[in-house]
Structure 1
Amino acid sequence: MATYDAMTRRISLARIDQQSIRGYFQTAELPEHHEREAANKPWRIFEVLNTPSGGHGYNWESLRSAASAGNSPCPAGYRIPNQRELALMHSRIGNDGNWTLNNHFSRTRFQFDSGRPGFSVSQNNGVLYLLSGTGNYGGVRRA
């Protein structure tokens, strides 16, 4: 079971089986990965910043390129969440008024690209979905 503490802004997965948790802690950007790889597992506990980064200046591909080149939009100690962390943020935080961008992207790409590059949560925490094309702009809700 995952829990969210609004005071500390932390999501905890203390009761989740070890096999479902990523085997390492990382504050820098995760390596490039797709939804079925170990880098897409969440860490045991992570903090979520209230303010998103990147404004509407990124699409998923440009965010991916920036992160891979070492130009993360996140401050030191934070990174772009993977798809599962973004899903936990979506399900546990709810609409707290900080899902202000059209898209809040994850770092995780879709394994079978076919014009669907990666994952996002829509504005106002409306839905977690698989992007279609590269015309979707947004930023990140940092973990």
Structure 2
Amino acid sequence: IPPDSVIEYIDENPDLIELELIELLLPKVQEYFSIYENKNKKELEEDTFALFQIVSDPKKYNLLSELRNGLISKDKLPKLISKRALDHLNSSLSFLKKYDVIEELKYKDERYIFLKTNIQITTAFPEYLRKSLPQESKPVIAKKYKPKGD
């Protein structure tokens, strides 16, 4: 799924976003999905492990969450955060770029980072473990208390 933020931004602000930028973003997203559709089982398993690494690392996941909101100007990042945080951010960016989750592009003398896909994790409970769970007890309605003297 292409990130909602990119789709909504293009739909809601057709006058603000320039056609050149759309022409830069769209082919990269289309290429990502055409490659992804043709991955074999081993490549999909590697992707699953990479997704786990992204979701289990708060710094990577926070970056992913920020990118869901739209493009980030890479040139402005050093001014916005501390040196130590910038090192962690660069490490997370490298990881996401290595696994083809994000793309960096240059537009009007500025470098931007954007999501190629909106990673969404769904949770599930294994069916084989459901049998080992205790049965849900039925609700009990308490009887009204009547003192003996009445």
- What TM-score, normalized to structure 1? 0.25
Which protein is bigger by CA-based radius of gyration?
A: 2
Identify the structure with the greater helix proportion: 2
